[in-house]
Amino acid sequence: MKVLLAEYTSVHDPVLAREGRSMLGVLRSSFKRCGFEVVLPEEGDFTSEIERLAPGCDMGLVIAPDHLLSRFTMVLEQHTHNLGCGFMSIAVCANKVQTRKVLRQHGIPVPGDAESGKRVIKPLKGCGALGVRLSDGEPAEGEFAEQFINGEHFSVSIVANRIIGDACQYFTGNAPVVLAINRQDIRIDPDGSFHYLGGETPVHPDLEQEIIGTAKKTIEVLGCQGYCGVDMVVADKAYVIEVNPRITTSLVGIVSCMKEEIADILVAASKGRGPEIVHLDGRVRFDTDGQVMHL
């Protein structure tokens, strides 16, 4: 069995390349341990590489910045079985304002709008905290402002079973599996710039069940499938900040603790048969370079 792991940044985006290589590394190792032949794109046009390689593979997964992911995933789905989220749900999640609107309509807590004063300004589309800042200035073109919530930063890593898409016959209605809650290491510079530095996993916050329930409802509402990361700030309640319908850096830490193979989980979930639970042993701190330290 061949699997195409199409990771964009390691070749095409120097700013995010370290994180991209670390995510690709853990996935590649897991698929190899599970007996798969792993196929990787070469340098050159990324879309053309997917079109060239995907037809010869049994399945594939795209890892790319959110604003590019939908287009690349659509190409992948035309040629092979997609192990990740469907391209239409990815497109919704990539637009942060649209995501907030959908979640708010379904009663999921999100930061409020902020017309003035100290607030979070962020790109309409983006990832990795790039361009996110705390400021009382005005958003530029392609940016928006939202309420700043002073709380703890967490993410929930979930793998959702097949819902619809290129293999809708695999729909089972099985619930998603929560891999872990991760504490995020977010630094805010004196100038207000946000930086994501990695995190710690697994953790068990006071509002653990609320956090998990909110994350599950979020991906259900957005129609996500495969691996997803739901970013939250927890204060008086768990507020959803961002939804990443793709592999996230937290996976680097999770696989160091998880007894199951992430490759097996992704393949099973893509056919509606993901596990009900996973088993974690220990706790680690991880950074965006893929370095893991057991605690």
Domains in the chain, please, with CATH?
A: 2-110+146-294 (3.30.470.20)
Rounded Cα distance between 168 and 132, Å, is 37
Q: Please give the Cα distance from 195 to 188 (Å, whole number).
A: 6
Strand (E) or helix (H) holding 206: none
Question: What does pLDDT average to over the chain?
Answer: 93
CA–CA dist 73, 86 (Å, integer)? 7
Enter the pTM of the model. Answer: 0.94
pLDDT given at position 277? 96
State the average pLDDT over residues 19-38: 97
Partners of 168 in beta bridges: none
Three-class SS state of 97:
helix
Residue 167 has pLDDT above 70, yes or no: no
**Range 60-76 average pLDDT:** 95
pLDDT at position 163 is 67
In the predicted structure, residue 148 carries a pLDDT above the cut 80 = yes
Q: Identify the pLDDT of residue 166.
A: 52
Q: What is the pLDDT of residue 276?
A: 94
